Homo-oligomer: A and B are copies of this chain.
């Protein structure tokens, strides 16, 4: 009898799963940021002891990698390959980049999290692989396509990280009221994206113009 009462009070409220632990981790991330996402704090949020977490995840690194995978590996990038018919490589690349940006910005410190548990490792880097394929279909060779996709990824990741670092400064109150002393990140993203896409376009036409000497550059 007493035991039952004790269980109602102190017993497990509900058995946890990998998914519920991940959910709790995202809750802390979004509310308090990556710096405050500690194993002990997460355990407290979930109502268990710190050690209990290690039944679900081998270590913190694995947990963070799973979070990064969830951000970067959402179905948005694996979506119907030819959903929009033959729109060409440029709008496709633009779409993947924009969606990756949105995915990174959807969670507080999302870019830092993904950059830390590197998104570029195979398997998780779904947007990277998607970009590489699109660029290959645009006519670039394997090496060039990989380098171009990496360049695009670095830009998107760096841009999102910069935006979120700026968010963090504002939260800390260390900014002069903002408005636009840091002139419009959306416009900067659009411009940067156009620059990279134009650069890829230039390399494509260079290859198409002189297939035997891919080193030649358009002037």
| Residues of chain B within 8 A of A192, CB atoms compared | 147-148, 150-151, 154
State whether the Cβ of A92 lies closer than 8 Å to any Cβ in chain B: no
Interface residues of A in 190-219 (CB under 8 A from B): 191-192, 194-203, 217-218
Question: What B residues does A159 contact at CB under 8 A?
Answer: 150-151, 154
| Interface residue ranges of A64-89 to B (CB < 8 Å) | none
Residues of chain B contacted by A195 (CB below 8 angstroms)? 147-148, 151, 196, 199-200, 202-203
- What's the least CB distance linking A119 to chain B, in Å? 10
Are A191 and B144 touching (Cβ within 8 A)? yes
Identify which of residues 13-32 in chain A touch chain B, using a CB-to-CB cut-off of 8 Å.
none
Is the CB–CB distance between B196 and A202 below 8 Å?
no
Contact A194:B203 (CB < 8 A) given known A155-B158, A165-B118, A188-B147? yes
Task: Assess whether A43 is interfacial by the CB under 8 Å rule.
Answer: no
- Interface: A162 (CB within 8 A): yes
A124 within 8 A of B: no
B154, B184, B191, B198: which contacts A154 (Cβ < 8 A)?
B154
| Interface membership of A153, Cβ < 8 A | yes
* Contact partners of A155 in chain B: CB under 8 A: 151, 154-155, 158
Residue in B162, B191, B198 whose CB lies within 8 Å of A198 = B198
Q: Is A143 close to B, CB under 8 A?
A: yes
Kindly identify, within residues 115 to 154 of chain A, every residue whose CB is under 8 Å from any CB belonging to chain B: 115, 118, 120, 143-144, 146-148, 150-151, 153-154
Residue A161 at the B interface, CB < 8 A?
yes
Does B157 lie within 8 Å of A191, measured CB to CB? no
How near does chain B come to A163, taking the closest CB pair, in angstroms? 11
Other contacts beyond A146-B183, A158-B158, A202-B202: 16, CB < 8 A: A115-B161, A118-B162, A147-B188, A147-B191, A150-B162, A151-B195, A154-B159, A194-B199, A194-B203, A195-B202, A196-B196, A196-B199, A198-B199, A198-B203, A198-B217, A199-B199
Residues of A at the B interface (CB closer than 8 Å) are 115, 118, 120, 143-144, 146-148, 150-151, 153-155, 157-159, 161-162, 165, 183-184, 187-188, 191-192, 194-203, 217-218
